[in-house]
Amino acid sequence: MHTGATLFDECLALVLLHEGGFVQHALDPGGATKFGITRETLARSRARPVAVEDVRNLTKAEAGAIYRRLYWDTVQAGDLPPGMALAVFDLAVNSGPARAARMFQSVLGIEADGVIGPLTLSAARKSDQADVVRRLTRARLGFLARLASWSVFGRGWRVRVLAVEREALRLAHSSSFLGKND
């Protein structure tokens, strides 16, 4: 991490390591994606229909803005301890913000309503970061393994989830994080 980076910047860089350039895999239900942003997500962000070519031309800057607004902010990652922030943010990117919130809430042992608010944030701050990250990783892998497309994408998903866990644990244990939590 470079000096002055925010937690969002660091987490976004880690997410983008796992999200490739333009891809249109026939078995991926997301269809055309670039930097992990699907055509549907891009259309929602731009509030208008988009073509596959619009996805192909997506810039990293616009992808980052979309990730900030539709994922990071939605799961209140900037208000979470750093390790949890990365784990929940990456889960939101990969499986949707509502599912990420519900899984996170279940791991925290609170009502899983799919909305991260004051009760979730309070429970997160009172929890052991490393323990929560490890339990969220297990829950996430369990969910992914039950998907029909696990046989096609499972190996890559597992590599990603375990890499995110390692980085989240590093953030959880790091006393040298100098960035802001936004």
Q: What is the dihedral of CA 179, 61, 133, 20, to 10 degrees?
A: -140
| Helix H or strand E encompassing 39 | helix 39-46
Among residues 148, 125, 128, 146, the alpha carbon closest in space to that of 136 is found at 128
What pLDDT is attached to residue 152? Answer: 87
Bridge partners (DSSP) of residue 37 are 34
Q: Categorize the per-residue pLDDT at 26 as very low, low, confident or very high, splitting at 50, 70 and 90.
A: low
Neighbours of 106 (CB within 10 A): 14
CA separation for the pair 168, 164 (Å, rounded): 6
Segment 78-95, tens digit of pLDDT: 999 999 999 999 999 999
Q: Model's pTM, two decimal places? A: 0.89
Alpha carbon distances (Å) from 110 to 117, 126, 168:
12, 12, 21
Hey, what domains does the chain have and what are their CATH numbers?
7-173 (1.20.141.10)
The 8-class DSSP code of residue 33 comes to: E
Taking the CA atoms of 134, 137, 141 and 143 in sequence, report the sign of the dihedral they define: positive
Among 29-33, 169-173, 174-178, name the one with the lowest average pLDDT: 174-178
